[in-house]
Amino acid sequence: MSSNPQAPASAAASVYSTYQDNTYLFGGNAPYVEEMYENYLANPGSVPDSWRDYFDALQNVPAADGTNAKDVPHQPVINAFAERAKAGGTKVVMASADAEMGRKRTSVQQLIAAYRNVGQRWADLDPLKRTDRPAIPELDPAFYGFSDADQEIVFDTSNTFFGKNRMALRELLNALRETYCGTLGAEYMYATDQGEKRWWQQKLESIRSKPNFTAEKKIHILERLTAAEGLERFLHTKYVGQKRFSLEGGESFIASMDELIQSAGAQGVQEIVIGMAHRGRLNVLVNTMRKLPADLFAEFDHTAPENLPSGDVKYHQGFSSDVSTSGGPVHLSLAFNPSHLEIVNPVVEGSVRARMDRRADPLGKQVLPVLVHGDAAFGGQGVNQETFALAQTRGYFTGGTVHIIINNQIGFTTSD
C-alpha cells in the first residue's frame, strides 16, 4: 500500500480519478482508511498532511440533502445504536399499522360515548318481555370496524370510572353493558354541566349500576316490598271488585319512597310534599304515610266516622304524618287530588314554595316536592309540561323536584 499519495485536486471527482488505481483504495484496506478518517474527524491534526488534504477535499462534497453540513465522527453514533440493541425493547412499527391503531383508539372512545348516550335504549327494563329490545347499531363494536380478533387488544380507559386505566376491549364492553344496559337505565348526557355528567358517570360506572347493599339493607328492602305486595293481595281478596288502583307490578315504588325519605332527612330536609294520582295511592297511605290500615279498611267498609263527610272517594283523600329519619323527623304531606290525574302537580309546587317562604328557605333545602306520575299520563297530559315551565323562575322556584314514574304497564290501554 502506498503511504504517500499525491494531494488531490479541489474537487472530489478529481480525487477519485487520480487515485482510482492506487492500492490503498483496495477493498481489503477499507478498515484502515475508515479508522484514519474517524481519527481525522475527531482531530484533523492526528493524520498525515497528505491524508488530511485528502479528507479536507471530501468535506467539500455537498451532503445528501444538498446542504454544506460537515461530517461528524461516526463511532459515537455506532456505539449508541449498539447499546440500544443490547438493551432491547426497540421495535419497528410500520406507519400504516400505527395509523390503524390510532383509529382503533379513537373508535374505543366513540364506543364509550355511545353507551353513555344511548345505552339506556337497550336496557332490560321490561320484565314481561312484551317486545324485543331494539337494535342499536352504535352499541355494536362492529359498527366501529372491530372484529373478534380485536377483543383482547388493550386500550386506554382512564376517562372511565371502572377502576382500571387500561382494559381489553372484551372487558371494557362487558363493563359498559353491565353499567348501561342492565336492569337500570340511565339517561344523563343531555345535561349541559360537565360536572353533573361526570358525577353520574362516577356513581354508575364505579359500581356498574349494582349497589353493594349490606345484608341488613337488603332485608329492609325486602320488608318494604313484602309490605307493599301484602297490602295489595289483602285488598284484592277482601274487597273484590272495589276500586283500589293497585300498585301490583310497581311495588318497588314503596321501597324507593322509603329510601328517598330517609336520604332527604339525612340531608336536612324538614318537609316533603307529595303529589300523585290514584295508582298506588292507597299503598302509599299505609306503607309510606303510616296511615293505620284499620282506618283504610273502615273507608272500604263505609264505617269510618266523619264529622263533616267530604263525599269524595278514598283514593282522592290527602294525608299528613311525621316519619323518623337519621336526620330527625320529616313531615310528609300527601296532597288531595281529584280524578284529573296530573292536575295536582302545580298545586304541590305552589305549596312547597309557600313553605319555603315561611321557613325563609330561598334555596329549597328544607322542603322537597315529590311528584308521582303514571307512565301514560306523564307524557299525555299537558299540565306536566306546563309545570316544568315554572322551573328556575323567580316567583315559582322550588329548588328542584323529584319525579317518579310508575310503569306497571297498565297506562296505555290501546291495542299493541
For the chain, list the domains and their CATH numbers.
Answer: 12-87 (no CATH), 111-205 (1.10.287.1150), 215-304+313-406 (3.40.50.970)
Dist. CA 337–CA 276, nearest whole Å: 7
Name which residue leads in pLDDT, 337 or 154. 154
6: left (phi over 0), alpha (psi -120 to 50) or beta: beta
Q: Which residues of 194-226 are buried (b: 16+ CB within 10 A; e: fewer)?
A: eeeeeeebeebbeebbeeeeeeeeeebbeebbe
Q: pLDDT tens across 223-251, in order?
A: 999 999 999 888 888 777 676 678 888 89
Dist. CA 364–CA 360, nearest whole Å: 9
How is 382-415 classified by DSSP, letter by letter? HHHHHHHTTTT-TTT--S--EEEEE-SS-S--S-
Q: Is 355:373 a contact under the CB 8 Å cutoff?
A: no
Which of 36-40, 57-61, 161-165, 268-272 is predicted with the least confidence, judged by mean pLDDT? 57-61
DSSP-assigned beta bridge partners for residue 167: 155
pLDDT at 5 over 50: no
Is the pTM higher than 0.95? The answer reads: no
Share of the chain above pLDDT 70, in %: 80
State the alpha helices, DSSP H only, in 239-292. 252-266, 281-287
pLDDT for position 153: 94
| Average pLDDT of span 373-378 | 88
The total of other beta-carbon atoms located within 10 Å of residue 131's CB is 8
C-alpha grid cell for residue 340? 284529573
Name which residue leads in pLDDT, 26 or 383. 383
* 367-374 and 330-334 beta bridge pairing: unpaired
pLDDT for position 318: 80
Which of 44-53, 193-202, 328-337 is predicted with the least confidence, judged by mean pLDDT? 44-53
pLDDT for position 302: 65
Q: Is 174:182 a contact under the CB 8 Å cutoff?
A: no
pLDDT for position 168: 95
Nearest Cα neighbor of 373 from 357, 386, 360, 384 is 384
pLDDT at 329 over 90: yes
Q: pLDDT tens across 59-113, in order?
A: 766 655 556 666 777 777 777 777 776 666 555 444 466 888 999 999 999 999 9
Q: Is 54:7 a contact under the CB 8 Å cutoff?
A: yes
pLDDT for position 69: 65
First to last CA, the chain: 103
Q: pLDDT tens across 124-165, in order?
A: 988 888 888 889 999 999 999 999 999 999 999 999 999 999
Q: pLDDT tens across 286-315, in order?
A: 999 998 887 877 776 666 666 545 555 656
